[in-house]
Structure 1
Amino acid sequence: MRRPNLAEQIAGDLAARISGGELEIGQKLPTEFVLSRSMGVSRAVIREAISRLKQEGLVDARQGSGAFVTSMRAAGSFRLDPREIENNREQLSQVFELRLTLEGDAAGYAALRRSDRDLLALSQCLHAIDANIRDGDDGIDADFAFHSTIAKATGNAFILELVDLLGAQLKNSVRIARLNSSSYVGRPEAVLMEHKEIYDNIVEQRVEAARSAARRHVMNAAKRLGLSVGF
């Protein structure tokens, strides 16, 4: 068996500290400098290890602020391999089928339980998606932030954790799929309208309409990438 490289070893050690509660959700990781000194490796190794933790949905690296713990999920539990998904359209389709069920029901729960604070956060996400379109950005980060905010509005920590896990490990795959899909060209405005439909139904607390709008959006997103999902 291949021996794990230094970055994998460091990532595994940090993941164990997170799952063991030594590093709690919301806590900021020590800086690259501190970790490199304490673990006796270069900052480049630490940077790669943190990138791996981010891919696994354990941390969120914020530019200029550092990396923060976002999940207590232990290493080796349910996870996706982003590199494998990038090269396997069948697996990518299956992940979108999982999103179809998860995010559809999440939108329904969010419509039922959302607070004024949730609505404000969702509105800000919509503005971010709109700004991305005008700036010519791919908008993927704002897109996944919108779905994460919906998951948070459900009040169900497990839904939020799974949506965030999928988002963290799916972003790069979606970026690559978009670049390789001519069917996505010229569609950002349609994406914005789909998000707005979900938002409007959550605002009005139309549970089934919100659920249907979210499922329709995920199915359309798959079609834009040339994938076949649903039945």
Structure 2
Amino acid sequence: MNRPVGRTELVGFGKRETLTSQLVREITDRIEKGLYPRGLQLPTEKDLIDEFGVSRTVVREAIANLRANGLVATRQGIGAFVQQSTAPSAFRIDQQSLSVIEDVVKALELRIAIESEAAALAAMRRDAEDLEAMREACAQMEAGLDPTDTIAADLGFHRAVARATRNEHFLKIFNYLGEVLIPRTRLATHRFDAAQPSQYIARIGAEHRRILSAIEASDPDGARAGMRMHLGGSRERLLHPKQTSAANS
């Protein structure tokens, strides 16, 4: 199998694209070019970590995305294999179009519908490990010095909520939706807000804490409302930056 050798740096899009998204794009490109032939095994986790200089978590999230998109299949204890044939095209939002604010807003509306119900289910099904993951993500967000420092923790919080539903379909769809559609992975959304970075981080942290509190209290209605308020707030800040900035000042 002709596999690329050496080290590949994932730096093409900087902060506008997460490492997971970059890795998904690179592996997809290699599959399409035949560098990773159909039916054969992908490089091991260690090989991908060594080549791209990323963490094990990034590699596993990328494989989860590729699996959700029908490009690879995983075999327990063996690894990931490129699918022999491509499944019918799944629903997909053009990543290029996400640089347009209107399209990001539409994507947020989709997330509101999905993640509000995920939060309600999480409130009824979460366990101690789920709660600890959410608490840790909140603490990491609140410790950030700059809005861009909090993106990974933001993703981690929403992924933990999806996992707590105990419905693998929520987690699978988040592995795609979360990476691609969380606005701050595509746009510097804090620039639409007049608040100082510390105030922005504090508000985002408080919104996540409200969701967490409802999930801790096994309050599905509160969790649903908290998630809707959080994502709806992001939507409104993009649609009406002057009004929301004035209200938050």
TM-score by length of 2: 0.65
Shift of residue 226, structure 1, vs aligned partner: 3.1
2:161 paired with 1:150: yes
Write the deviation string for residues 156-190 of structure 1: whole angstroms up to 9, x where unpaired.
Answer: 11111111211111357655241542446542211
- What is the alpha-carbon distance in structure 2 between the residues aligned to residue 227 and residue 103 of structure 1? 22
Secondary structure of 2:203's counterpart equals helix
The one of 54, 67, 73 aligned to 1:62: 54
Q: Is this contact kept in 1: 2:49–2:55, CA < 8 A? A: no
The one of 107, 110, 120 aligned to 1:95: 107
- What is the alpha-carbon distance in structure 1 between the residues aligned to residue 105 and residue 154 of structure 2? 18
Q: Is this contact kept in 2: 1:29–1:67, CA < 8 A? A: no
How many corresponding residue pairs? Answer: 191
Relative distance call for 1:171 and 1:117 in structure 2 (3 A) is same
Q: Is this contact kept in 2: 1:15–1:74, CA < 8 A? A: no
Relative distance call for 1:168 and 1:190 in structure 2 (3 A) is same
- What is the alpha-carbon distance in structure 2 between the residues aligned to residue 97 and residue 65 of structure 1? 28
2:30 paired with 1:10: yes
Write the deviation string for residues 183-208 of structure 1: whole angstroms up to 9, x where unpaired.
Answer: 46542211111100000000010011
Relative distance call for 1:96 and 1:227 in structure 2 (3 A) is farther
TM-score by length of 1: 0.70
Shift of residue 222, structure 1, vs aligned partner: 1.6
What are the residue-to-residue correspondences of 1:50-129 with 2, within 5 Å? 62-63=54-55, 67-68=59-60, 69-71=63-65, 72=67, 73-75=69-71, 76-86=89-99, 88-129=100-141
Q: Is this contact kept in 2: 1:184–1:225, CA < 8 A? A: no
The one of 190, 193, 217 aligned to 1:204: 217
Q: Is this contact kept in 1: 2:121–2:165, CA < 8 A? A: yes
2:137 paired with 1:141: no
Identity of aligned residues (%): 25
Greater shift in the superposed pair: 195-204 or 182-191 = 182-191
- What is the alpha-carbon distance in structure 1 between the residues aligned to residue 179 and residue 118 of structure 2? 17
Relative distance call for 1:155 and 1:191 in structure 2 (3 A) is same
Relative distance call for 1:9 and 1:104 in structure 2 (3 A) is closer
2:47 paired with 1:30: yes
Relative distance call for 1:29 and 1:94 in structure 2 (3 A) is farther
Aligned twin of 2:203: 190
Secondary structure of 1:31's counterpart equals helix
Aligned twin of 1:159: 170
Shift of residue 145, structure 1, vs aligned partner: 1.1
Relative distance call for 1:168 and 1:196 in structure 2 (3 A) is same
Shift of residue 215, structure 1, vs aligned partner: 0.4
| One-letter code aligned to 1:178 | T
- What is the alpha-carbon distance in structure 1 between the residues aligned to residue 36 and residue 120 of structure 2? 33
- What is the alpha-carbon distance in structure 2 between the residues aligned to residue 65 and residue 184 of structure 1? 32
Return 5+ residue gaps in structure 1 as ranges.
Answer: 1-5, 35-46, 48-60
Return 5+ residue gaps in structure 2 as ranges.
Answer: 1-25, 72-88, 242-249
